[in-house]
Amino acid sequence: MLLKTLKNGVHRTLMRCREPLRSMRDLGWSARSRFRAARRSPDYQAAFEKELPLVTVCVATYNRGELLVERCLKSLLRQDYPHLQIVVVGDCCTDDTAERVAALNDPRIEFVNLTERGKYPDEPRHRWMVAGTVAINHALSLARGDFVTHLDDDDEHAPDRVSKLLALARATRADFIWHPFDYERVPDEWHVNHAPEFAVNNVSTSSVFYHHWLKSVPWDINAWRYNEPGDWNRFRKIRYLGVNAVRSPERLLKHYRERNQKKA
């Protein structure tokens, strides 16, 4: 057991040492300097200074119409910060998602259903790593907010999440914020991910909040080739840029045990 633990520790250390080189290869050798230059610009800093900045919430979904509306979207519509753009993109949904979203009749919600499902790997674990990539990247392309965040279609945010994270971003000039969250290991058994570091297994798609400039770093549908979940594949590239990353101490997300997506 001790030998296995040591081997796992060495493996994690080696992987972390390789991450900067991998990120530089993914983003290009000048990515850091481009980001630093952008961050110094008045246009970039204006997001922190607006009286009522727009916050975009991106949601990718596939045939979870009831959960999407009753849990995910209702938690977003309950936010105490009203200036939201909620972009929901269906990965070629074939259920009644469109009708359910339309019935909410809220002008802050924009729904697009893609006409073709993303081409994801056949192997189940690899598919899990990148499922939804096409839809979430399309949602990013429609985001107009000064700040961007995300919510999985079967999870929910605390009602004061956006207002708290926006206040923290403005107070610290954070480019990127992450926070702890509750997660359901098995039905009705809840645990806490304290997320002490900006590192793999500490951040998730729905536990981050960031400056809109970082939209320029998309999800990679081939992240599985690195044996990386799509969210961490993206976030480690963002970390590589040298962002001012700030941890919020509050648990502002409930991450439910995922229902397996069936292959289309």
Query: For 52-96, what is each residue's pLDDT tens digit?
Result: 999 999 999 999 999 999 999 999 999 999 999 999 999 999 999
- How much is the pLDDT for 7? 43
- How much is the pLDDT for 1? 53
> Average pLDDT for residues 46-50, to the nearest whole number?
98
Rounded CA-CA distance 31/26 in Å is 9
The residues with which 210 forms a beta bridge, in sequence order, are 148, 176
Q: Per-residue pLDDT for 97 more than 60? A: yes
Question: Taking Cα atoms as reference points, which of 150, 169, 137 lies closest to residue 53?
Answer: 169
Which sequence spans correspond to the domains of the chain? 54-255
> Average pLDDT for residues 201-227, to the nearest whole number?
97
According to DSSP, the β-strands at 189-193 and 181-186 are antiparallel
N-term to C-term CA, the chain: 41
Q: What would the two tokens of residue 68 be?
A: 């999407």
- How much is the pLDDT for 264? 44
- What SS3 state is found at 224? helix
Q: Per-residue pLDDT for 8 more than 50? A: no
Average pLDDT of the chain to the nearest whole number: 92
Segments in 28-87 forming alpha helices (H): 31-40, 42-49, 65-67, 74-77
Rounded CA-CA distance 188/77 in Å is 24
- How much is the pLDDT for 121? 96
Amino acid at 167: A
Angle at 46 between CA 147 and CA 50, to 5 degrees: 75
Rounded CA-CA distance 22/37 in Å is 22
Place of tokens 């923290």: 168
Rounded CA-CA distance 237/226 in Å is 13
Q: Per-residue pLDDT for 262 more than 60? A: no
Question: In which band, very low, low, confident or very high, does the pLDDT at 24 lie, cut at 50, 70 and 90?
Answer: confident
Q: Phi and psi (nearest 5°) for 230?
A: -60, -35
Q: Per-residue pLDDT for 108 more than 60? A: yes
Superfamily of domain 54-255: Spore Coat Polysaccharide Biosynthesis Protein SpsA; Chain A (3.90.550.10)
Question: In which band, very low, low, confident or very high, does the pLDDT at 31 lie, cut at 50, 70 and 90?
Answer: very high
> Average pLDDT for residues 111-126, to the nearest whole number?
96
E strand residue ranges, the chain: 55-61, 84-90, 109-113, 147-150, 156-157, 176-178, 181-186, 189-193, 208-211, 245-247, 253-255
